[in-house]
Amino acid sequence: MADNEDKLFHQEMSDVVPLQRERRVPLAPGGDQRDSSLQRRREAAVAEEGMDTNILTDREVAPLDPWFVLEFKRDGVQNGVYRKLRQGRYEQEARLDMHRMTMRVARRELFEFISQCFELGLRSVLVVHGKGERKPERERSAVLKGYVDHWLRELPVVQAFHSAQPRQGGTGAVYILLRKSEQQKQKNRERLTRGRPAPDSP
């Protein structure tokens, strides 16, 4: 009886083909999907660090005379507004001191300072760049001042600038007038709207 069952079983299974197993890839000790995800995040972070959103030039800029007066005004800035800026009659809402900064650090600090001031809705700020080297062979060479003069012209949010009054640094500092941010414009519109008399009812 058992022999018949065995023969019957072998006959039934004679055309069956064993399944082929997929080749297994050994994982490194402790390796799993989390490792590959971590690696991707690290690579993305490195790539993000390599993206420099700073629009200020990093090429060499000619130095200026320490006593040279910086002055710049975009089209559309009223002469009266520029005159008040030049005379230091606007309150300085923020200040950046760039003394002893290298060109690389100064480029980053100035870009971030102006960007943050604009986002906060500040209009009038002061940047102290100094009057340059005190070494005899470079006493008439204000390196950082030359960069600041060049960089401020590259920033669209900068409407005007002028060397400061003696009491606030003279030709070693600069007043900067920033464009109104959209938030500031909206606040001004709301303030003007509230101040208007209500129209007569029909």
The domain that holds 83 is classified in CATH as 3.30.1370.110
pLDDT(200) > 60:
no
pLDDT in tens, 17-74: 666 655 555 555 555 454 556 666 666 555 555 567 899 999 999 999 999 999 999 9
* 83 located within any domain: yes
pLDDT(150) > 80:
yes
CA–CA gap between residue 74 and residue 84 (Å, rounded): 15
- Altogether, the residues listed in the chain come to a count of 202
Token readout for 4 is 């018949």
CA–CA gap between residue 110 and residue 53 (Å, rounded): 13
* 90 located within any domain: yes
* 96 located within any domain: yes
* pLDDT the model gives residue 40: 66
Q: How does the average pLDDT of the chain come out, rounded?
A: 80
* 147 located within any domain: yes
Please report, for residues 3, 49, 64, 95, 97, the alpha-carbon distance to residue 105 in angstroms, rounded to integers and kept in the order given: 91, 16, 19, 16, 12
Give the total number of structural domains in the chain: 1
* Selected residue with higher pLDDT from 110 and 132: 110
Burial of 73 by CB count in 10 Å (0-12 exposed, 13-18 middle, 19+ buried)? middle
Return the DSSP state at 90: S
Quick one: CA torsion of 180, 86, 147, 122, rounded to 10 degrees?
-30
* pLDDT the model gives residue 168: 96
pLDDT(173) > 80:
yes
* 120 located within any domain: yes
* 40 located within any domain: no
Find the mean pLDDT for residues 78-105.
96
Q: Which domain holds residue 140?
A: 71-187
* 16 located within any domain: no
Return the DSSP state at 64: B
pLDDT in tens, 117-146: 999 999 999 999 998 765 554 444 589 999
pLDDT(181) > 50:
yes
As a whole-number percent, the residues of the chain with pLDDT over 90 amount to 54
* pLDDT the model gives residue 182: 75
* Selected residue with higher pLDDT from 51 and 94: 94
* pLDDT the model gives residue 202: 39
pTM for this prediction: 0.66
99 neighbors 190 (Cβ within 8 angstroms): no
* 18 located within any domain: no
* pLDDT the model gives residue 140: 47
